[in-house]
């Protein structure tokens, strides 16, 4: 089975994240990049499926030059090879452009199964897996907390507000996974060393037959009008419990008409 796992480099949540004043995009240079946490579950699921069914796991990343750090991490976990979609023309792409560029790259790579994390911790739109399924014309098996493959059949448990839906489809398909579907492995020393020798192919826009007019900030389907640091919340009242803390909170709730 030919599995492509999509991995994004995101700014470390623990650092202060900013938008650039010049083009209102995320300032990726100013912060440390880490693997999007939810993508680690996607990589683990891809590796487990490969271990069970054979085949190959390819990492696909779209991002700036330093996203290679993220590629190496996924390779160190055990993926076989990687494709880095990297072109200045892609800077500032919104979800629509990104899904278009990724879909073009996926068509070029070829796949039986595409696996992604359910969302990224920076933009948090959660739309990319669904957009990819739409663009590729393949079944959308998203928000999965269990994935089973049997030959060319695939079934997942899709999390819903009321529990889950059992969903079935035929490969090729696009899967997104939620947190806790598995326990992502830590790269071993051997894995880290091996990752340095694994092939990483860089694709520019033209290589993947991506129309440059459809990507990047200029092509974005949505625009940031303006932004500002959130005003600090007005300092609240903090009191020490003197044995009547519960009653005091109740007084506060009553003053705000919650009770």
Partner 1 sequence: MSEILVLVEQVDGEVKKVTLELLTLARSLGSPSAVWAGPGVTAEAKAKLAEYGADKIYVAGAEEIVGYVVAPKAELLAQLVSAQSPAAVLVAATAEGKEIAGRLAVKTDSGVITDAVGLGEGFVAEQSIFGGGVNVRSKVAKGTPIVAVRPNSTAPVAAAGAGADEEVSVTLSDAAKSARIVERVKQEKGARPELTEAAIVVSGGRGVGSAENFSVIEGLADALGAAVGASRAATDAGWYPHQFQVGQTGKTVSPQLYIAAGISGAIQHRAGMQTAKTIIAINKDPEAPIFELADYGIVGDLHQIVPQLTEEVDKRK
What region does 2 belong to: left with phi over 0, alpha with psi -120 to 50, or beta?
Answer: beta
Question: In angstroms, rounded to a whole number, what is the distance separating the alpha carbons of residues 91 and 257?
Answer: 48
CB 106 to partner 1: min, Å: 14
Q: What is the crossing angle of helices 68-77 and 37-53, to 10°? A: 40
Closest CA to 128 of 29, 21, 36: 36
| Sole binder of partner 1 in the list 70, 99, 104, 182 (CB under 8 A) | 99
Would you tell me how many other CB atoms lie within 10 Å of the CB of residue 119? 20
Helix (H, G, I), strand (E, B) or coil at 159: strand
Q: Which of residues 200-219 bind partner 1 (CB under 8 A)?
A: none
| Sole binder of partner 1 in the list 30, 52, 193, 224 (CB under 8 A) | 224
| Sole binder of partner 1 in the list 25, 53, 56, 164 (CB under 8 A) | 164
Q: How far is CA 49 from CA 133, 135, 182, 202, in A?
A: 20, 24, 12, 25
For tokens 């100013």, name the residue: 30
82 binds partner 1 (CB under 8 A): no
Question: In angstroms, rounded to a whole number, what is the distance separating the alpha carbons of residues 98 and 62?
Answer: 8
CB 199 to partner 1: min, Å: 31
Site string for partner 1, 130-159 (x = CB under 8 A): xx-xxx-xxxxxxx-----------x-xxx
| Sole binder of partner 1 in the list 32, 125, 153, 193 (CB under 8 A) | 125
118 binds partner 1 (CB under 8 A): yes
Q: Which of residues 48-67 bind partner 1 (CB under 8 A)?
A: none
Count interface residues toward partner 1 (CB under 8 A).
85
CB 171 within 8 A of CB 154: yes
Question: In angstroms, rounded to a whole number, what is the distance separating the alpha carbons of residues 259 and 141?
Answer: 43
CB 177 to partner 1: min, Å: 12
- Whichever of 168 and 209 has its CB closer to partner 1, that residue is 168
- Whichever of 121 and 200 has its CB closer to partner 1, that residue is 121
| Sole binder of partner 1 in the list 55, 108, 121, 184 (CB under 8 A) | 121
Region near partner 1 per CB under 8 A, out of 63-71, 78-86, 92-100, 190-198: 92-100
């Amino acid at each position: 089975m030919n599995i492509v796992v999509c991995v994004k480099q995101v700014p470390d949540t623990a650092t202060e994240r900013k938008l650039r004043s010049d083009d209102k995009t995320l300032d990726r240079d100013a912060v440390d990049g880490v693997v999007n946490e939810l993508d680690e579950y996607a990589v683990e699921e891809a590796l487990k499926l490969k271990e069970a069914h054979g085949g190959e796991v390819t990492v696909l990343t779209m991002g700036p030059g330093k996203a290679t750090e993220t590629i190496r991490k996924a390779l160190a976990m055990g993926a076989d090879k990687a494709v880095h979609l990297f072109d200045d023309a892609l800077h500032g792409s919104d979800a629509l452009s990104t899904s278009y560029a990724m879909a073009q790259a996926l068509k070029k790579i070829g796949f039986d199964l595409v696996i992604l994390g359910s969302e990224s911790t920076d933009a948090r739109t959660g739309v990319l897996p669904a957009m990819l399924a739409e663009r590729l014309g393949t079944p959308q098996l998203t928000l999965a907390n269990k994935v089973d493959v049997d030959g060319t059949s695939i079934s997942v448990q899709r999390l819903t507000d009321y529990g889950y839906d059992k969903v079935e489809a035929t490969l090729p398909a696009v899967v997104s996974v939620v947190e806790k579907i598995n326990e992502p492995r830590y790269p071993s020393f051997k894995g880290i060393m091996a990752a340095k020798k694994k092939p990483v192919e860089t694709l520019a826009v033209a290589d993947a037959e991506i129309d440059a007019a459809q990507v990047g900030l200029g092509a974005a389907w949505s625009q940031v009008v303006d932004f500002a640091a959130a005003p600090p919340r007005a300092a609240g009242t903090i009191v020490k419990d003197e044995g009547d803390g519960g009653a005091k909170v109740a007084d506060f709730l009553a003053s705000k008409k919650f009770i």
